[in-house]
Amino acid sequence: MLSQQEKYKYLQEVVISDFMPLVEQKIFSVIYDYDCKIAICTNYSAQSIAMESWKDAVGISFKDQHRSDLGAKIFGSKYTGAFVEFIHHYIEKIYQLQLSIFRNKNVVNFIDLLPYNDQFIAYLITYVPIFHPRGEVIGIQSFATSIPFFSHHDYLQNILGYNKQTEISKTAVKLTNREHEILFLLANLIPPEQMTQILGISRSTIANIIAKQLSKKFGLAGSNSKLLTQLAIEQGYHKLIPESLSKPYIIILDEQLAKEINLDKKKPLKKEALTCY
């Protein structure tokens, strides 16, 4: 096992040195050290979390989720009320994702919908383990790109070719809040395994609601998710964002890892996940 000094030396002399030419580039990339703290990042990344330059971001860690001063700086006016609880919860989950990389030595992908810099912008994040020549993971490099996902009024133009001038179809169908959530996600082509993360319910519950409630309300025989999705898009449900989904959260794109990390707000964190490697 590498000593702290050996990890530090490799990060400073090799990883950070090689990263320096990227600092001024307009890309989102961050190097996290073996304590899950930002060691260096691009200025573009620093500015996306309300910092002036990469030097201001050094030392920040997702395990500092309860620092109210840092939360207010990074999330601005969104760091208030009920949003604070969601932000703290999902920051802890991102920290657990980072810890999993040290354990599993795997690349991790997730969608981050936290309101950094006072804005709800969805980011597709990729975490890549940084290996020392002796085979030990001594850090993480992240890459991110903003994506048109749940970004209020404009994201549908990119995903579905939606025309802003088109009016939402009028419909007499009355939906419960849960039915509205599922219909909205179906209409945006979100697969069932990701729906379970977003809604915190099982795939079987989602399937039952589609088969026994939504299909019936839309005059469909049995369970036909494909046709229901088509009808939902035609009637404008793809841009009717339920109020319950306008909140901070993350979506882990690996179903098994999502189960390991456990996104359910009601369940406690595992003790061993709170120690960085």
**pLDDT value at residue 148:** 63
Question: Residue 247: what pLDDT?
Answer: 80
- Tokens representing 146? 């903003």
Please tell me the distance from the alpha carbon of residue 137 to that of residue 106, in angstroms, as a whole number. Answer: 10
Domain boundaries, the chain: 4-150+248-274, 155-240
pLDDT of 159: 42
User: Per residue of the chain (277 residues), what is the pLDDT tens digit?
Assistant: 999 999 999 999 999 999 999 999 999 999 999 999 999 999 999 999 999 999 999 999 999 878 899 999 999 998 988 789 899 999 999 999 999 999 999 999 999 989 999 887 889 999 999 999 999 999 999 999 988 654 433 444 444 444 443 444 445 589 999 999 999 999 888 888 889 988 989 999 999 999 999 999 999 987 888 999 989 888 888 778 787 777 888 999 998 898 888 765 444 333 233 233 2
Supply the pTM of this predicted model: 0.74
CB neighbourhood size of 206 (10 A) = 22
Q: CATH for 155-240?
A: 1.10.10
How far apart are alpha carbons 78 and 50 in whole angstroms?
Answer: 13
> Is 16:32 a contact under the CB 8 Å cutoff?
no
Mapped onto helix, strand or coil, the DSSP state of residue 244 is helix
Domain 4-150+248-274 in CATH 3.20.20.70:
no
Query: How wide is the angle at C-alpha 35 spanned by C-alphas 6 and 85, nearest 5°?
Result: 175
The answer to whether 238 touches 160, Cβ cutoff 8 Å, is yes
Q: What is the pLDDT of residue 172?
A: 58
Spatial distance between the Cα atoms of 49 and 216, rounded to a whole number of angstroms: 45
